[in-house]
Structure 1
Amino acid sequence: MLTEERRVAAATAQDGRYPRPQLVRPDWLDLSGPWTFAFDDDDRGRREHWESSGSLSGVIQVPFPFESAASGVGDTGFHPVVWYQRTVLRDELPSGERLLLNLGAVDHACEVWVDGRSAGTHEGGSTPFTLDITDLADLGGDGDLSLTIRAEDDPADVAQPRGKQDWRHHPHSIWYHRTTGIWQPVWLEAAPAVRVEQLHWVTDVPAGEVTAQLRLSRPAPAGTTVRIEIALGAEPLASVEAAVAGREVEVPLRIHRQSNGQAYEELLWSPAHPTLLDATVRLQVPDAPADVVASYLGLRSAAVEGGRFLLNDRPLYLRSVLNQGYWPESHSAAPSADALRAEAQLILDLGFNATRLHQKYEDPRFLFWADKLGLLVWGEAPAAYAFTPEAVRRSIAEWSAVLDRDRSHPSIVTWVPLNESWGVQHLAHDPRMVSYAKALVQLTRTVDPSRPVISNDGWEHADSDILSIHDYDHDAARIAERYATREAILGAEFTFPGRRLIVDPAQRTDAPLMLTEFGGVSYTDDGPADAWGYSTATSPEDLVERLRALVGAVRASAPLAGYCYTQLADTGQETNGLVFEDRSPKAPIEELRAIFGA
């Protein structure tokens, strides 16, 4: 596998810092750290040309939102427009044919300047974008590189996909402090002019086949070839070289080892055995530098059948925990790359095999650790709170971009475009909203037919592959009775929240049933004055007893194919976590693991 053509280390061996873990290049520069910064509450920066005037007098630590303490600013007020500047020294720049500026996520809309000249714009607070800045930077001169970013995020604009970000000055109920501006990594990289812009892996487990789907930066010139190699450690599994034409390229590879039935299971990815295969892609244009990238993939299938969730064609009971992806010091941004690994490991240590990333498109570095450690993930969209053509346009655009970003991660086993009718609160009787929910499902299946899709997690389902239910009844006996039979579940009008389970007569009723939010038991020894949960424990021992009773009642339900407990960590005023905000457990971790890992 390690030929002279390979310039990059194995993608499975990365340390979790690289921001785009399934398309790795060796020549890159992390731009995390201090940038100059300014609020622009009067929105005068454009008129006064702050991109070239050096008017920013503050300092912020990127990539943390200014609302967080980690940013060094810690201002939670309304500041809808902010500016950033950073000078990159000439000898720091990655060396290559083209210089690319990558931004992981900037909430919500932004414009970028290079050396005072506009480089491009982007809309979508959770999605990545790349700008080729080679022709704007004076790379042949002796000067340094100046980067300027203007971000705009209107706190009152509820047509933006915003998830748990509060539109009020102070967090209330289940909403948290806002995330404005840069909140995921910013980095420079060197690459050829004709390069791999996006890379997806489509696996056919029974056939033992993998298809590499490449999108190139521009149409390939005549004579362009691509060579792809797949290996398990030092063992070569498949390789192919093919001619390339156009920008969209599909290359099939056969993993012959999978034809041996005795060894078939050894290469499959699962929580018990999260086997990842390394891949190298070498794109060669005649008389030009080759683009060599490292990637990885997992061989696995995810489906539903007979009222059960299937992984690799076998029933798997999902033991999941709701994860807000929010830290007290850095808010929606991860405090460090290591914190993302620790979060995935903590979930596994607590006994869960899955997590539902709630109302957030999570940092891809977390998904790398989920892939690496064997943690199943439910990918969920942050909601807008208006139902308007603009809200629909924005939500679909971001959802499509995240499907493009994340659909090759083997850890993601379910897509959730809507939750609890947020933004579509009249789904039960507005046919437009039903059409929208179904359209999101069909769009998702069109782009990625390899995973189950839930149209609206919690209730009011239309064309869902899994019928998921939210129920915060704290009485274990009532939970046991309510979920005793499939007929009782399908026929129930739940007292909380008083919603119908199905709103579309065409919705399949043989889909698996899952209780995807329950519990929410609050316990705090020194929490905020407005601390709350759906019920309250008085001590760690009381918390354990309540958890044991509730989870035991859920596990006793034969019709349920899995559950998701609310929630992993305390978040602001929500003190219903299994761990405190600092991720220390509220009860002995072995006792929690005995409850959730059974």
Structure 2
Amino acid sequence: MGCSEFRLVLKLELHEIGVNMSDLNNVDLKEQKTREDYPRPQFVRKDWMNLNGIWDFEMDFGKSGMERKLYEEESFSKKILVPFCPESSLSGIGYKDFMNMVWYKREFNIKEISEKRILLHFQAVDYHASVWINGQKAGEHKGGYTPFSFDITALLKVGANTITLCAEDDSRARFQARGKQSEQYYSIGCDYTRTTGIWQTVWLETVPESYLKDVKFYPNSTAGLLSLKCSIEGPLKGLTLRAEASYQGKAMGEEAVLVQGNEVNFSLALKEKYLWMPGKPELYDLKLTLLKDGAVTDEVDSYFGLRDISCEKEGVRINGELIYQRLVLDQGYYPDGIYTAPSEEALKEDILLSMDMGFNGARLHQKVFEPRYLYWADHLGYLVWGEYGSWGIDITESSALSVFLPEWMEAVNRDFNSTALVGWCPFNETWDRNCIWLPDGTYKSGVKQDDSVLKLVYEVTKAMDGMRPVIDTSGNFHVVTDIFDIHDYEQDGTKFADKFEPMNKGGETYVTFSERQSYKDQAYFVSEYGGIWWSEEDRQGWGYGQRPASREEFLERYRSLTTTLLKNKRISGFCYTQLYDVEQEMNGLYTYERQAKFNPEVIKEINSQRAAIEE
């Protein structure tokens, strides 16, 4: 089967699927646009097919579909637009109650079976996915944020083929990472509408018998070289791997090595050095070619940046330059797509909106963002911290490791090569189980976190990636961390400043929950503050502290809080909560629809003040 035929057949089949709706709303899915962008932008092959579009869909409230063998059914009663989750309006379903199990199905045609392998990729399915091809089990995957794939070649036949997927999702489970998905019926506080099932691109890819499975980049900006660790799948006899780097079309270096094992390690020297820096995103193009007995058998296009990261008490250095991190909290939610951006343009626009207000990066909060977002962060010079949707995992027991660690390792592996990604943060605010917030604002502990869970996750992360700093748990309760970060939502500018002033004079470091964590001369980072809630309308909402009486009062408070952090000699960065409103949480600088609440130039002027560590 030729690859061009493969793509053509699938494109035609996409348009042949029916669109009869039986159901919950009257959205005409034929009029809806789906996501067509390439889902893995730093590891690109030409021979691929996007399977987004209209699929059959079924809700399985009784979780009896396995017993009823729904994977053998010819069709389901509803239609859904993939990759949008069924809770979203873009999906055509818009059902927001709990769905503990859902089913998907679609067909595609194969004209002939060639010698190439066919891989079926799911970029993200929440949470436990089981996949069948033509009624035969292809495999399973647990984890709602990371990609997985199956070699389905042996399960295919000439003619019509059927993909069936079952997704089991229980956001109330004690050992399922849910992030900000609400455990209650309603979206409430800083928890929002749930996401169930497929929420990123589904696609097919053809690969040869021997192919490049994975690659890790280790840039060295001082030496001007790129080290590579490549993984090869399939027979190795007669294979050579070639790497070619270029910058704006100009050849920068080439290296070829004989493949003698499934892992290939080598370095590529660059003729000229162009350093990637925040706001100055110099990037090299890279072509990786696998040759068998001198003939090309596999080709992958990629890119990389020359960017070294170091972390010391003063803060994070990029290529030797101390960088003050002016970050904003980004939740990665969209009014119409929930977890899924309606378009690639929307991903890019969120970064540009942030930069318009003088931020140079973001905490990608309680969610593993789409690879296309990281692509634009790399290309726009926008710093990001990689996090996980850790809320929902009960880390008071060491058994949490068996669930959390494999999922987190997949996330680190997926985003390892991102130039813009400057640090890892697996957990956020690891509150005790059955803890209580008292009326006076104090915290009463419950069943405490198992510190060994955080320690081991930190150590595994450092073993996987020794280049980046790791924060064990953002805000609390630190066990072992490269950066000591805190969260503080004090709204009174004077009281806020009083907490940090001793540090500015060489005195005691301000530590939240001092009975549970201690500062050990690390870089100091206020990774959540502000959260000032404001809306044009006088309506119910949620935010931190008392709502300002006017726009002017908001800006005065924002200036006071932010300037306090910028002018402190011991603080290496801040992260303001948050970029845009999400549902009832109205503490964004933009509305949920991404309309600016305040003049971006005013916010930018405040954020762009020279920081004390830059002087």
TM-score by length of 1: 0.89
Structure-2 separation of matches of 1:431 and 1:331: 32
Report the equivalent of 2:540: 529
Report the equivalent of 1:443: 460
Report the equivalent of 1:282: 289
Tell me, yes or no, if structure 1 residue 68 matches structure 2 residue 83: no
- Equivalent of residue 373 in structure 1, options 377, 380, 384: 380
Structure 1 counterpart of 2:474, which letter?
D
Report the equivalent of 1:247: 262
Cα offsets for 1:40-67 (capped at 9, x unmatched): 1122222222222224110111111111
Q: State the identity as a percent.
A: 35
Cα offsets for 1:84-112 (capped at 9, x unmatched): 01112447x99871211110000111111
How far the C-alpha of 1:385 sits from its partner, in A, is 3.6
Structure 2 counterpart of 1:395, which letter?
F
Instruction: Give SS of 1:554's match.
Output: helix
Tell me, yes or no, if structure 1 residue 53 matches structure 2 residue 73: yes
Structure-2 separation of matches of 1:550 and 1:94: 64
Tell me, yes or no, if structure 1 residue 193 matches structure 2 residue 191: no
Report the equivalent of 1:479: 496
How far the C-alpha of 1:546 sits from its partner, in A, is 1.9
Change (3 A) 1:156 1:544: same
Does the Cα contact within 8 Å between 2:330 and 2:579 map onto a contact in 1? yes
- Equivalent of residue 302 in structure 1, options 292, 309, 329: 309
Structure-1 separation of matches of 2:409 and 2:223: 28
Structure 2 counterpart of 1:312, which letter?
N
Q: Comparing 334-343 with 571-580, which one deviates more in the overlay? A: 334-343
- Equivalent of residue 26 in structure 1, options 35, 42, 46: 46
How far the C-alpha of 1:125 sits from its partner, in A, is 0.8
Report the equivalent of 1:500: 514
Structure-2 separation of matches of 1:485 and 1:593: 28
Report the equivalent of 1:123: 142
Unaligned stretches of 5+ in structure 1? Answer: 1-14, 259-266
Structure-1 separation of matches of 2:281 and 2:600: 23
Tell me, yes or no, if structure 1 residue 539 matches structure 2 residue 558: no
Cα offsets for 1:6-38 (capped at 9, x unmatched): xxxxxxxxx992111110001211111211100
1:7-26 aligned within 5 A:
17-26=37-46
Report the equivalent of 2:337: 330
How far the C-alpha of 1:81 sits from its partner, in A, is 0.6
Report the equivalent of 1:553: 564
Change (3 A) 1:425 1:482: farther
How far the C-alpha of 1:199 sits from its partner, in A, is 1.5
Change (3 A) 1:217 1:527: farther
How far the C-alpha of 1:540 sits from its partner, in A, is 2.9
Report the equivalent of 2:121: 102
Change (3 A) 1:442 1:527: farther
Structure-2 separation of matches of 1:192 and 1:100: 11
How far the C-alpha of 1:78 sits from its partner, in A, is 1.4
Report the equivalent of 2:487: 470
How far the C-alpha of 1:597 sits from its partner, in A, is 2.9
Does the Cα contact within 8 Å between 1:519 and 1:534 map onto a contact in 2? no
Structure 2 counterpart of 1:371, which letter?
D
Structure-2 separation of matches of 1:255 and 1:302: 19
Report the equivalent of 1:264: none
1:139-288 aligned within 5 A:
141=158, 143-218=159-234, 220-258=235-273, 267-286=274-293
Report the equivalent of 1:6: none
Q: Comparing 574-583 with 55-64, which one deviates more in the overlay? A: 55-64
1:309-328 aligned within 5 A:
309-328=316-335
Report the equivalent of 1:386: 394
Change (3 A) 1:37 1:588: same
How far the C-alpha of 1:284 sits from its partner, in A, is 1.8
Change (3 A) 1:528 1:362: farther
Structure 2 counterpart of 1:83, which letter?
W
Report the equivalent of 1:404: 413
Q: Comparing 547-556 with 338-347, which one deviates more in the overlay? A: 547-556
Tell me, yes or no, if structure 1 residue 414 matches structure 2 residue 423: yes
Does the Cα contact within 8 Å between 1:493 and 1:501 map onto a contact in 2? no
Q: Comparing 515-524 with 152-161, which one deviates more in the overlay? A: 152-161
Instruction: Give SS of 1:553's match.
Output: helix
Structure-2 separation of matches of 1:45 and 1:430: 37
Structure-2 separation of matches of 1:424 and 1:22: 40
Q: Comparing 357-366 with 239-248, which one deviates more in the overlay? A: 239-248
Report the equivalent of 2:599: 588
Structure-2 separation of matches of 1:483 and 1:557: 8
Q: Comparing 562-571 with 26-35, which one deviates more in the overlay? A: 26-35
Cα offsets for 1:514-563 (capped at 9, x unmatched): 11110000001237634333331233333222212221222221211110
Structure 1 counterpart of 2:569, which letter?
A
- Equivalent of residue 566 in structure 1, options 571, 574, 577: 577
Structure-1 separation of matches of 2:177 and 2:465: 21
Structure 2 counterpart of 1:36, which letter?
D
Structure 2 counterpart of 1:373, which letter?
L
How far the C-alpha of 1:390 sits from its partner, in A, is 4.3
Structure-1 separation of matches of 2:433 and 2:461: 18
Structure 2 counterpart of 1:405, which letter?
R
Does the Cα contact within 8 Å between 1:485 and 1:559 map onto a contact in 2? no
Does the Cα contact within 8 Å between 1:472 and 1:517 map onto a contact in 2? yes
Does the Cα contact within 8 Å between 1:209 and 1:254 map onto a contact in 2? yes
Report the equivalent of 1:81: 101
How far the C-alpha of 1:308 sits from its partner, in A, is 2.1
Cα offsets for 1:473-530 (capped at 9, x unmatched): 1111122222123378855454xxxx128636xx6x2211111110000001237634
Structure-2 separation of matches of 1:432 and 1:554: 30
Structure 2 counterpart of 1:545, which letter?
E
- Equivalent of residue 63 in structure 2, options 36, 39, 43: 43
Q: Comparing 405-414 with 110-119, which one deviates more in the overlay? A: 110-119
Instruction: Give SS of 1:304's match.
Output: strand
Instruction: Give SS of 1:293's match.
Output: strand
Does the Cα contact within 8 Å between 2:36 and 2:52 map onto a contact in 1? no
Report the equivalent of 1:356: 363
